[in-house]
Each structure stands twice: as structure tokens, then as C-alpha cells.
Structure 1
Amino acid sequence: MEYEIRGKNGFADVEVALDSNEQILAEPGAMVSYDPGIEMTTDTGSGGLLDSAKRSMLGGESVFMNTFTAQQPGSVYLAPPAPGDVRARFLENETVYADSGSYLASEPNVEVSTEFQGASKFFTSGDVFLLKLTGTGTVFVDSYGAMETIELAQGEQFNVDTDHIVAFDASVQYSTFRPGGVKSRAFGDEGKVAKFSGPGTIWIQNRDFESLAEKVAEEIPGGGGDGGGGDDDGIGVDDFL
């Protein structure tokens, strides 16, 4: 398998060139087009039905995956759902964790599963599961906005808002905290922060889809952002956990 990440200015896509009998698995909706001679099937992916169902109910991912198999050499063109970047990471019997919305595609030898984050949610949006990508093969992740790669040396630390996290190596240690406590979320509009410690790589995005959704909701009458038209003031019980 060969690939080329194309597109500039936050509108990236990826061309995946497959030889005969090679495969690539992708999230539903990621496919832009594919060449004749490539067959697309929809199934529960490499994790099996039980694991895929768990991803759907608990990790926010679809039950189904699209599998593209080359009957003869050809290309599949994939793109993320929102304007942003795409990055590839080759795993060699390794593990990468990703935000559930950042997975785009992977080779079939990479197992896509979920891992519970514990009682304190990792992401401000409320997700309590991370995607766990394990095995040998190439994984493609996408971002909302521009994506930056941060390489951490042994013991080197880096802090980032959890809603700006795309993915990180399993070798990276992390903990989460809320800077400024409850007041920070209620009045400063800041959520949780992840404190990462190397060695390893993390990928972050410079835009936050949750913030965009909130801004859009503020412009909709009765959406909760007009001070009296909605029932939700943007702060819930989860924000205090």
C-alpha cells in the first residue's frame, strides 16, 4: 500500500493506492471515490461485532466499517468530514490512542477498539472512551483545523486542552485537571487540560468543533445562547466533575 496526503489550507484528503488483494478500512462517509477494480463492502470491521457494537454505544463510533479490497491495482480517495488535516502513523506492533472523532482509516492488521478513561472523563464533551489503535500497519487520523505534531523527549511535559487532542502514542503518560477549578469553566470558558509526559508523540488540532457548535447555537433563536430563549445555559453537572 502507498498513499499521498493531498490538499492545502486545511482541506486535506488522502489517496490510498492498493495493489491486488490489498485492503484499507475506513469510517463510513470517508470515501470520496474509488477506481474500478476495487470492491467496497460494509461490515463490522476488524474488531468483530461485539467490539464494534461497544464502539457504537460507548465510544461514539459507527458499528460498521467500509472495507475496500483491490481486485486489481487502483486507488481509494478518502477525506475527513470537516475541514482539516490528515496525518498517517505507521504502527509496528504499537498502540496509539485517538479521539473517537479523529479516526479516518487504517490497514486491516490494525485493531480498532475502545478503552475506558476512568471515572474522570478525558474530554470536556463527555466521552469516557478513547479509541485504541493497535497492531502493525498505517493509521490515518484527521483534525478539525490545522494539525500539529508534538514530539516529547523522556520526561518532557506538555499541556493541552483536551478538546484539541487528536491522538497520542501509548508511551505518553497523561493526567487531566481543570485549571482554575469550576470557575474556569463557568466564567472563563476553559475546559479540561491534559498534562502529557514523554517520551512519545501527540497530535493536536488548532480548532475545537465543540466550540464551533456552541457559537452556532448562540445564533439560533431558542438555542440557549440568547440569555433566555433556551433551557441550557451551557453549564451542566458534568462540567463540575
Structure 2
Amino acid sequence: MQYEILHRPVFSTLDIRLNAQEQVIARPDSMLSMSTGILISTTISQTGKKPGWWSGVKSVAGGQSFFTAVFTAKRDDQQLTLAPQDYGDILTLTPEGENGYFLARGSYLAHLGDCQLALKYGGMKGFMAKTGLFFLHATGAGSLFCQTRGAILEKRLEDGENFVIDNRYIVAFSDTVQYQLVKATTSAKDSLVSGEGLVNRYTGPGIVYYQTRAKPPTSFFGVLLSSAT
């Protein structure tokens, strides 16, 4: 199996070449085009297996779709092209054994190979940071692809080094990185006027990947502020 990311960084697509019986697991509605020798099936999992209903509930709580699509090649030399939901780039991650990554809400696009995905409880801080009650945790061996909004930025953190990022811009981070919800301003008035309320503080060692654009605000105060400015 071979893959290539084309048309980056704004209109990126993931082009994959498959031989017989090779599979790609991807989020629903991500298929742009494919050869006729590819079979599509669905499952309530990011692993291609059929888990219990609780896994589906956790997927929704973590901002992931209840279903995933499984693309299986019926013969050699088949082409599958996937596209993100928005304008932006595609981030490639390669977990190595137990050294993996946590994916932010909605950033999962697809994965290849023996990449193991599991939903991990993020606690109240994950909920308050609007990243969902559960994080998608990727380990094992394989290639994992994340969709982004805008370009991809990377911050490498040394042991004990801190870095603050607005949680709307987070794409993924090493599972060795610790995160904590903190206030960006000292008062509610400053939060409303500046548009900066709660942010995440990340502590190394590890890598944090984030994007240059975020989805428009959906909260009442966010929409009100956007209208006023």
C-alpha cells in the first residue's frame, strides 16, 4: 500500500493505492473518488472491528462519528482518494508501539496498517476544554491521518517546558505531553471583549500539532462578539 498527500496545504487530498485485500479505515463522507474494485462497508469503530454499543457512545462523546467506513480492495492496483471536511492540510502521524498520540475533537481522517485506536476518558478538564469527554488515543504501528483547518504548526516541547494554545486550534499531541485547562484572562469582562476565555497549557516532553484556523464560534457570546467586530 502506498499513499501521497496532494494539493496541499489548502485543498489537500489523501491519495492511496491498494492491492487485493488491503484496507483503509476512514471517517464517513471522506471519500472523494475511488476505483470500482473497492468495496465499502461500515462499522461502529475506528479499528474496523465490531465493538459493543458503548464504544459508539464514547465516539459521539469524543466528537467522532458513530460509524467509520472500511474500504477494502477486491483486486490489485486500486485507487482511493480521501478529502478533509474543510479547507486545510493533512497531518501524518506514525505511532510507534506504546508511544502514541492523542487526537483532538473531530481531527481524525483515516488510518492504515496496524494502528490501534482507542477512546480514553479525558476527565472534566477535557470536557471543559471542548475537546469532548474522550480523546482518541492512537498507538501501535501504521500511518494515521488528521484533517486540519488551515496550515499545520508544530511545537516541540522539552521536558517541563510549557506552551499555551487556544483549544479550538489543537489537532494532536504526543501522549507524553500533559495538559491543563487555564484562564487566559483575569476577568470575565476581559474574556468577553478579547474573545479569549479558557485555554490549554501543554507541558513537555513531546510534540503538539495545531492549526492556523478554527471553526467559527457557536456560543452566544462568541457569535455576539463576532457580529460586533
Range of TM-score over shorter length: 0.7 to 0.9
Residues in 2 aligned to 1:198 and 1:224: alpha-carbon distance in whole angstroms:
34
- Which of 86, 90, 95 matches 1:86? 90
Q: 1:179-190 to 2 correspondence within 5 Å?
A: 179-183=184-188, 184-190=190-196
Residues in 1 aligned to 2:85 and 2:168: alpha-carbon distance in whole angstroms:
17
- Unpaired runs of at least 5, structure 1: 228-241
**Which residue matches 1:137?**
142
- Which of 100, 106, 109 matches 1:104? 109
SS class of match (2:124): coil
- Unpaired runs of at least 5, structure 2: none
- Which of 133, 150, 153 matches 2:155? 150
- Cα deviation, 1:92-139, whole Å, max 9, x if unaligned, reads 213211112100001253233322222234564462322222222110
More deviation, 45-54/76-85: 45-54
The alignment status of 1:172 with 2:177, answered yes or no, reads: yes
**Which residue matches 1:29?**
29
More deviation, 1-10/140-149: 1-10
Distance 1:111 1:151, change over 3 A: same
Q: 1:1-241 to 2 correspondence within 5 Å?
A: 1-45=1-45, 46=47, 48-72=51-75, 73-93=77-97, 94-107=99-112, 109-121=114-126, 124-125=129-130, 127-183=132-188, 184-211=190-217, 213=218, 218=223
Residues in 1 aligned to 2:68 and 2:14: alpha-carbon distance in whole angstroms:
17
More deviation, 164-173/4-13: 4-13
SS class of match (2:61): helix
Residues in 2 aligned to 1:89 and 1:114: alpha-carbon distance in whole angstroms:
17
> Shift of residue 195 of structure 1?
1.7
**Taking structure 2 as the reference length, what is the TM-score of the superposition?**
0.85
Aligned length: 221
Identical-residue share of aligned pairs (%): 29
Instruction: Tell me if structure 2 keeps the 8 A contact 1:95–1:170.
Output: yes
Residues in 2 aligned to 1:198 and 1:118: alpha-carbon distance in whole angstroms:
20
- Cα deviation, 1:14-41, whole Å, max 9, x if unaligned, reads 1112222211100001111111222111
> Shift of residue 11 of structure 1?
1.2
- Cα deviation, 1:16-67, whole Å, max 9, x if unaligned, reads 1222221110000111111122211112232623353123442122221101
- Cα deviation, 1:183-207, whole Å, max 9, x if unaligned, reads 2433321032222222221110111
- Cα deviation, 1:148-174, whole Å, max 9, x if unaligned, reads 122223333322111110000101122
Instruction: Tell me if structure 1 keeps the 8 A contact 2:94–2:143.
Output: yes
Instruction: Tell me if structure 2 keeps the 8 A contact 1:39–1:70.
Output: yes
Residues in 1 aligned to 2:90 and 2:4: alpha-carbon distance in whole angstroms:
10
Q: Aligned letter for 1:202?
A: V
**Taking structure 1 as the reference length, what is the TM-score of the superposition?**
0.81
